[in-house]
Chains A and B, each alone.
Chain A
Amino acid sequence: MILFLLRRLATMAVTLAIISALVFFIIKLPPGDFLTNLIHELRAQNDSAAIAKAEFLIKQYGLDRPAWQQYLIWIGAMPGPNGFSGLLQGDWGWSFEYDKPVADVVGDALWLTLLVNLAAVLFIHLVAIPIAIYSATRQYSLGDYLATFIGYIGLATPSFLLALILLYYMNRWFGVSIGGLYDARFAGEPWTWEKIKSLLSHLIVPTVVIGLAGTASMIRRMRANLLDELGKQYYVTAKAKGLGPTKALLKYPFRMSLNPFVADIGNLLPHLVSGSVLVSLVLSLPTVGPILLSALKNQDQFLAGFILMFVAVLTVVGMLISDILLAWIDPRIRMGGGR
């Protein structure tokens, strides 16, 4: 087990190294990133202070060095102007667009993003699993058709549209503004009980909006998986033992049908950050999505690079978690072999 973990960690490190290189060079690829534009502008001003600042920036970010050196400095594998100071050391770089350290720009947004999306994931599972079980055990019943129908509507509705509609009607009917994640008056305030309450009440709509499409597709997949498992012989065995229908269902076919969802955790985690950009824009949620979007548009290289790396780390860690969980819940995987 320890050996397995070590091997996995080593592969993860290699994967991340490759991803970081790709991220860095792809961001660097097109000409005209934020920093070079800035330097050009400063030089064009043709006054000595501006030129000195341009020179400083060039030195600071090693723009006079070859790209691979810039890359190594960025990840912290090579001493830059300030010694070793890169991702590995926890220095996430400088955002030129905001003129602040990346850590300050992303800061709260990162945790709020995780919060909103985790809430959405919880919502998806809590709603989808019972409905899926209901419609799988009562296949072709009225309830099943109804769940299927609503599921398809959920799948087909663009979530930003739903967000817009909710935004409008909530305001019109209840006079509530559901934009943002907390009341405007709390912006920049320290976290107090009041602020948390405001946050929770603002969380409901984004959760539902972001979760709806996921819920619909989860119902469909869970139902299909369960239907497969319900036809299996071991379920008949369980019933022939005299086990009640609910208990037999939860203990055997339901557990068998969980595997694909556990395997999905790896994809789920990065989705927590990069998904729901449109909804965040529409509902003006202070999440990472919109920040990433503008960073990419402006080629704010360190900011974009950091967010992309963060997503990559989440992906790799998610894969590890799902592999460990799979081995834990499924002895066939744990023991290797087995048919």
Chain B
Amino acid sequence: MTEITDITHPEIDTNEMILNMGPQHPSTHGVLRVALKLDGEVVTDLDCDIGYLHRGVEKICEHRNYQMIAPYFDRTDYIAAVSNGLCYVETIEKALALEIPLRAQYLRVILTELNRLSSHLLWLATHALDIGAVTVFLWAFREREELLKIFENFFGARLTCHAFRIGGMTYDAYDGFQAEVKDFCDRFPKRLEEYETLLNTNRIWLSRTVGIGIISADAAIDIGLTGPPLRGSGVEWDIRKAHPYECYADLEFDIPYGENGDTYDRYLVRMEEMRQSRRIILQALEKLPDGPIMAPKAPKVVKPSIGEYYHSIESPKGELGIYLVSDGSTQPTRLRIRPPSFINLQALRQMSIGHLVADVVAIIGTLDIVLGEIDR
């Protein structure tokens, strides 16, 4: 949060206007403040001001037991709480060298993919809303609502879902869980087609997204983009395939990737990812084995050995990683979260310069950021 006027040079050119977008703005997806330097409506420079939601999660983690830390992760990326929880418990399990029962693994995959669906649906809703397609917003929320009901039945919470424990799961699937998920998956492709009728070949949608916010594969790697933004640029890289965790290695799915690295390709990638998620869920439901949901050797007092561990998963936003430094006590020495939104947001400047104000909004939407995760 610094003076914005002196991004590159302190004196303000009279021909340029500094426009403050946020922290209260309909389409900055939370409390992001973007200072735009405008020449007419063309963005010549911009600076992101983040930190309005900084809670010091990493600091708090250093002062909590390992079990007490877990709920904090539901609140970093609150749109994809399940993925966050998964990343945390997996990191600790790997550091402890714990084997997780197969049933817990499959349940985790099902829930994480359901969460990916709900996260992508929220992205679609807000992204479309930013570009002015209000109806898609409410249609996507209709499906998200069904997912949240499943979450509520499973976790007891709709947003800050929390059912993973170090060593497995707290709750087993409730009665009718499989049927409900299956039912949802059966209905879902038709709903996706509905959104696509409204957007895919819509001329206005095309002219608002094609060629907007182009980032080449090399530039994307250089700036550290991960997740759908990286794949939209044509890099075929997904942690679920590259470094399979849980039971992803047993499941069949494809990685969609784009060619042009523009907003439209990222849109297509995410839409296809939803289809692939559904595919994963259906397979996992079919293969879901019986058995225990907690590892029998799961320790009551979690104390990883002295050392360090880095583990990352493919969260809906990108690579969510945790770097754990343990001194052998019940509290971590350092628990670093690698927030995908934070690093993806950094590309905003590079992607928006030369575009119009309206495109900045579209690009913020296509990066799919969550301020809770950026600010931590």
**Do A and B truly interact?**
no
- Measured CB to CB, the residues of B under 8 A from A are none
